[in-house]
Amino acid sequence: MTAARRVLIVGGGIAGLAAGVELVDDPAFEVEIWEAADRLGGKIATSSFAGLDHIDEAADAYLTRVPHAVAFARKVGLGIDDLTAPTGVGAMVWHDGLHDIPGGILLGVPAAIRPFVTTSLLSWKGKLRAAAEPLLPRTDPDDSLGRLIRTRFGDEVHDRLVDSLVGSIYATDTDRSSLAAVPQLADLAAKHRSLLLGGMAVRRRAPAPTDSPIFGAPRRGMAGLVEAAASYVTGRGGVITTGRTATSIEADGPRWRVDDGTFDAVILASPARHTAPLLATVSPEASTGLGSFEHADVIMMRLTVAADQWPQQLTGRSGYLVPKPDQRYVTAASFASQKWAHWAPPDGSQLLRVSLGRDGLPTAHLDRDAAIAATIDETGRHLGFDLQPVDISMTRWTDAFPQYRPHHHRLVADLESVLPPTIVLAGASYHGIGIPACISGARRATARIKDTPR
């Protein structure tokens, strides 16, 4: 009888856990996960706040219109009663005041005409510039999202819509970002000369709207997904150890010695900067390349506002985004108790989650008092009243968002090509940011391990 192959997964974030879930059902593998921190989840965290038990300190949802996270949640045992969806209320953009995000957009790209004629977010000059887009020749964006949008639609559409939306999702500066990192827009640019006409065609071909939500989340917060995944792995014989840092990988015949353990394969589901030194001996080229990856720090503030202080005109909204030219430190604010019905405090107060920082807007130098002051001052100015939070908490996320520079995916492919087949990469640094992308990347990594002969 052939002995099971030992696989070490370095990193207990959602990518590492998803790799463990994928392998642990296969009797051909023994699975071990090492996580350097004292908890699992990586950049996912949930804790009690403002009298509520499960309020997220980072990501609060996953996209449901791609299958990866939905299927994963089902596999690890989260049933329909364990999950919830946003209320569906609309969001805004702040630019010299709050403006509704116009309808008929694809990640900020115009895909309808009437909403852009009537929106108060764009000036008439900006609207006329955007209206010229169908007349322009095809653009070669050279894998730059900012270059594509500015060339096609002008600065206002880029700054106030596309950069606000995409920049908020990825904590990035889209002028320095890979177009390929946003597949929906990359596909639109590849297939259509005019993005406006192409977006209109995509909307016409789209299935009729349904009641199915675009986003989903566990009722117990995103940490509920982490806990369910960890239980799945350990319940099927996998071993998970927190507080254990991998420090070196050395060849040991056909196997790999990682510190004091020997394994047949290693999945590196840790951020690129932490992965780089582990590969110094295995592949100096990959180590150097991964060490050059850039990351953005962000701060997440959670705060509550008394019910009698909350302006009535803000009721029924999910929050707002701040365009890059208008940013000081705050980049977005979610009206969390209006976005999620189960996050409504029992006393009627409003729960907000405010994001500070992005690529090019560092926050590491802000101490707690300075971060709180910036949050209160800027959010209050945006909302138009003297903000006086009842409760406030701060979570600092260092190196939280890897930055996909133009041609990032080509660089990753080159680095993966110089790695041995039994050492593979997984996680947000490589093939996509966000929970579904990390789960998909983990499946990709495990497939490579399974397809590699002993």
Q: Looking at residues 12-23, what average pLDDT do you find?
A: 98
CA 274 to mean position of chain CA atoms = 19
Q: Looking at residues 78-93, what average pLDDT do you find?
A: 93
Q: Give the pLDDT band (50/70/90) at residue 261.
A: very high
Q: Looking at residues 423-437, what average pLDDT do you find?
A: 96
pLDDT given for residue 204 in this prediction = 87
Tens-place pLDDT, residues 97-112? 999 999 999 889 999 9
- Most distant CA atoms of the chain, gap in Å: 74
Tens-place pLDDT, residues 20-65? 999 999 999 999 999 999 999 999 999 999 999 999 999 999 999 8
Higher pLDDT, 116 or 230: 230
On the question of pLDDT at 245 being above 60, the answer is yes
User: Which of 2-6, 241-245, 368-372 has the weakest average pLDDT?
Assistant: 2-6
Q: 227, 238, 240: which is closest to 76 by C-alpha?
A: 227
Percent of the chain at pLDDT above 70?
99
pLDDT given for residue 294 in this prediction = 96
Q: What distance in Å separates the CA atoms of residue 71 and residue 309, rounded to the nearest whole number?
A: 41
Percent of the chain at pLDDT above 90?
93
Q: Give the pLDDT band (50/70/90) at residue 387.
A: very high
Tens-place pLDDT, residues 298-328? 999 999 999 999 999 999 999 999 999 999 9
pLDDT given for residue 209 in this prediction = 60
Please report, as a single letter, which amino acid is at residue 294. Answer: E
pLDDT given for residue 3 in this prediction = 81
On the question of pLDDT at 441 being above 80, the answer is yes
Q: Give the pLDDT band (50/70/90) at residue 423.
A: very high
Q: Give the pLDDT band (50/70/90) at residue 416.
A: very high
On the question of pLDDT at 447 being above 60, the answer is yes
Arithmetic mean of pLDDT over the chain: 95
pLDDT given for residue 248 in this prediction = 96
Residues 6+ apart with CB under 8 A from 444: 426, 431
On the question of pLDDT at 1 being above 60, the answer is no
Q: Is the pTM of this model over 0.85?
A: yes
pLDDT given for residue 52 in this prediction = 95
Q: 454 with 264: CB under 8 angstroms?
A: yes
Q: Give the pLDDT band (50/70/90) at residue 212.
A: confident
Three-class HEC string of 395-426: EEEEEEEECCCCCHHHHHHHHHHCCCCCEEEC
Q: 383, 290, 368, 370: which is closest to 335 by C-alpha?
A: 383
Tokens found for residue 220: 């117990």
Q: Looking at residues 121-145, what average pLDDT do you find?
A: 96
Q: 329, 336, 338: which is closest to 396 by C-alpha?
A: 329
On the question of pLDDT at 265 being above 60, the answer is yes
Q: What distance in Å separates the CA atoms of residue 200 and residue 192, rounded to the nearest whole number?
A: 11
On the question of pLDDT at 436 being above 90, the answer is yes
Domains of the chain in start order, with CATH, are 5-44+68-74+219-293+404-451 (3.50.50.60), 101-205 (1.10.3110.10), 295-402 (3.90.660.20)
Q: Give the pLDDT band (50/70/90) at residue 2.
A: confident
Tens-place pLDDT, residues 164-208? 999 999 999 999 999 999 999 999 999 999 999 999 999 888 776
